[in-house]
């Protein structure tokens, strides 16, 4: 993959029963077995959810927003592998030994602490732990005026980078462009939290993000997440597709204009451009986003999608596997992207195992599972899965679908169409 600073290891995803992990995650029967490629080891860190007093919903939104911003900032530190919040936040309200969490997430260092917000003041307790020996590398309490919260975020990141000097001797705190209005920030935090939950909540996030932009028109992060909200609407809901794509593109372009260092903005803009026929420019935009934030797990998952269209199926599988390394307990669409890439690489059995996982979600999961089963000659099961898919998407046509997809090589397009037709889906 040209010009992109990748995670230092690539991990192959295997599925097997395990009793390890948080209660709800243990039931998913999923474990990641690493397959090192002989590259040097990389410092890895996870930010655990900050504790809040009395399970206060208002405080939890604020604390989660601070943790997400910390993850984003640390993700830009060169040489540091950062676990995605979707996985580290799965340990909220669970009392598990840090050494166990370290094994499950593949992280050596942890940030943990608490946040308390009272009227115009905020108190943050934070500490950096080395899980290999349980030692505390840095700890501090900050008691500040709420108006100083954005300066405080920069200070915390800087102190963490300094504390990691032994592991990252050349690392420097990343430059950042933060919100300037606390009310806009609060709206953004709520909107972002909703947008990462499900498609339904992604739509509910939109008015919050719009309001944040009205208050602070130069809030690049709010523009970027608004673009994602419109983008998902265009992809999955099928209502006013052109209108949502135009709105998504305008918002993403605005975010990039305001803050060229915003990885989210580059990634969503690249995805939009690729799907609108500007494939090379879209991939270049996407790669720029991953150069800015090589720990962007969603970006790696989405890049797998584009690599399939480019005809680079092996690279697509690698991108999807990297997304699992960064986000070991990911949303369901990660499984869809991996299974899609494995099918493209003609690894049909791997594709079946991935897409059979109960977490696998997204519109393509059942469709591609049916195709992979058909390619393996398991026709009866393929047709059963295909009928299940058609019950949700009765108007699907393999060839019409193929005509909407930006494959660079028609042979790759026909490979998928052939699989769908073998699975009994309409031509």
DSSP 285-307: HHHHHHHH-TT-HHHHHHHHHHH
Nearest to 83 by CA among 374, 324, 326: 326
Give long-range contacts, CB 8 A cutoff, 24+ apart: 144-147.
145/120, 145/121, 146/117, 146/119, 146/120, 146/121, 146/122, 146/182, 147/120, 147/182
pLDDT at 244: 83
- Residue 37: CB atoms within 10 A of its CB come to 11
pLDDT of residue 27 exceeding 60, the answer is: no
Q: Check if the beta carbon of residue 29 is closer than 8 Å to that of residue 67.
A: no
What is the average pLDDT value for the chain, to the nearest integer?
A: 83
pLDDT at 41: 55
Cα 164-169-172 angle, rounded to 5 deg: 75
- Residue 173: CB atoms within 10 A of its CB come to 18
pLDDT at 236: 61
Mean pLDDT calculated for residue range 58-82: 85
Distances (CA, A) of 9 to 189, 211, 302, 322, 387: 32, 41, 19, 8, 39
pLDDT of residue 36 exceeding 60, the answer is: no
Least confident of 7-21, 114-128, 146-160, 381-395: 7-21
pLDDT at 237: 58
Edge-first strand order for the sheet with 109-118 is 80-82, 43-47, 109-118, 121-130, 135-145
pLDDT tens digits, 228-275: 888 777 666 556 777 888 899 999 999 999 999 999 899 989 988 888
More confident position, 168 or 135: 135
Q: Who contacts 294 (Cβ-Cβ below 8 Å, separation ≥6)?
A: 4, 5, 6, 7, 75
pLDDT tens digits, 338-380: 999 999 999 999 999 999 999 898 778 999 999 999 999 999 9
pLDDT of residue 28 exceeding 60, the answer is: no
pLDDT tens digits, 189-225: 888 888 766 656 677 889 999 999 999 999 999 999 9
Query: Model confidence at 58, in pLDDT bands (50, 70, 90)?
Result: confident
pLDDT at 16: 41
Residue showing tokens 């983008």: 231
More confident position, 100 or 415: 415
pLDDT of residue 134 exceeding 80, the answer is: yes
pLDDT of residue 20 exceeding 80, the answer is: no
Return d(Cα 379, Cα 364) in angstroms, integer: 19
What is the DSSP code (8-state) at residue 79? T
DSSP-assigned letters across all residues of 330-349: --HHHHHHHHHHHHHTT-HH
- Read off the pTM: 0.80
What percent of the chain is predicted at pLDDT more than 70? 85
Q: Which residues pair with 123 in a beta bridge?
A: 116, 143
Least confident of 5-19, 232-246, 299-313: 5-19
Tokens for 155, please give them: 């200070």
pLDDT at 164: 86
Nearest to 285 by CA among 302, 295, 297: 302
Tokens for 36, please give them: 């090192």
pLDDT at 19: 27
Cα 72-288-5 angle, rounded to 5 deg: 70
Least confident of 87-96, 139-148, 300-309, 375-384: 87-96
More confident position, 305 or 14: 305
- Residue 9: CB atoms within 10 A of its CB come to 20
Domains within the chain, CATH numbers bracketed: 42-177 (3.40.50.10610), 329-422 (1.25.40)
Query: Model confidence at 4, in pLDDT bands (50, 70, 90)?
Result: very low
Measure the CA dihedral 229/233/239/243, to 10°: 50
Buried/exposed 329-355: b ≥16 CB within 10 Å, e otherwise: bbbebbbbbbbbbbbbbebbebbbbbb
Nearest to 300 by CA among 261, 343, 345, 270: 270
More confident position, 108 or 422: 422
pLDDT at 346: 98
Beta pairing class for 121-130 and 109-118: antiparallel
pLDDT of residue 131 exceeding 70, the answer is: yes
pLDDT of residue 332 exceeding 50, the answer is: yes
Return d(Cα 349, Cα 355) in angstroms, integer: 10
Highest mean pLDDT among 33-37, 293-297, 326-330, 379-383: 379-383
Return d(Cα 74, Cα 90) in angstroms, integer: 19
Least confident of 8-17, 42-51, 57-66, 128-137: 8-17
């Amino acid at each position: 993959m040209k010009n992109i600073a990748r995670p230092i290891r690539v991990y192959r995803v295997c599925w097997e029963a395990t009793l390890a992990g948080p209660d709800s995650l243990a039931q998913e029967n999923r474990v990641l077995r690493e397959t090192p490629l002989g590259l040097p080891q990389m410092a890895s860190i996870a930010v655990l959810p900050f504790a809040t007093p009395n399970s206060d919903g208002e405080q939890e939104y604020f604390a989660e927003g601070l943790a997400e911003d910390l993850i984003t900032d640390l993700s830009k530190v060169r040489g540091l592998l950062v676990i995605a919040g979707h996985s580290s936040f799965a340990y909220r309200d669970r009392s598990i030994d840090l050494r166990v969490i370290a094994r499950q997430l593949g992280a050596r260092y942890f940030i943990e602490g608490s946040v308390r917000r009272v009227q115009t003041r905020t108190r943050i307790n934070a500490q950096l732990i080395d899980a290999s020996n349980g030692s505390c590398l840095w700890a501090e309490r900050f008691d500040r005026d709420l108006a100083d919260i954005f300066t405080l975020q920069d200070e915390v990141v800087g102190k963490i980078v300094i504390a990691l000097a032994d592991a990252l001797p050349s690392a420097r705190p990343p430059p950042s462009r933060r919100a300037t209005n606390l009310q806009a920030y609060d709206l953004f935090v709520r909107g972002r939290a909703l947008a990462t939950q499900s498609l339904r909540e992604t739509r509910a996030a939109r008015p919050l993000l719009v309001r944040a932009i009205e208050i602070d028109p130069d809030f690049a992060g709010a523009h970027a997440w608004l673009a994602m909200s419109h983008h998902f609407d265009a992809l999955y809901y099928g209502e006013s597709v052109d209108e949502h794509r135009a709105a998504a593109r305008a918002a993403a372009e605005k975010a990039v204009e305001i803050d060229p260092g915003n990885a989210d903005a580059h990634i969503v803009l690249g995805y939009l451009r690729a799907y609108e026929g500007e494939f090379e420019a879209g991939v270049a935009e996407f790669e720029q986003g991953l150069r800015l934030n090589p720990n962007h797990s969603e970006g790696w998952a989405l890049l797998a999608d584009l690599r399939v269209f480019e005809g680079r199926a092996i690279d697509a599988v690698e991108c999807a596997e990297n997304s699992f390394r960064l986000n070991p307990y990911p949303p369901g669409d990660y499984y869809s992207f991996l299974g899609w890439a494995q099918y493209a690489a003609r690894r049909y059995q791997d594709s079946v195992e991935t897409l059979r996982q109960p977490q696998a979600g997204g519109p393509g999961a059942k469709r591609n599972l049916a195709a992979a089963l058909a390619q393996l000659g398991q026709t009866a099961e393929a047709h059963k899965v295909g009928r299940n898919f058609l019950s949700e998407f009765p108007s699907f046509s393999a060839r019409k679908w193929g005509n909407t997809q930006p494959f660079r090589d028609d042979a790759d397009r026909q490979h998928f169409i052939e699989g769908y037709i073998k699975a009994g889906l309409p031509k």
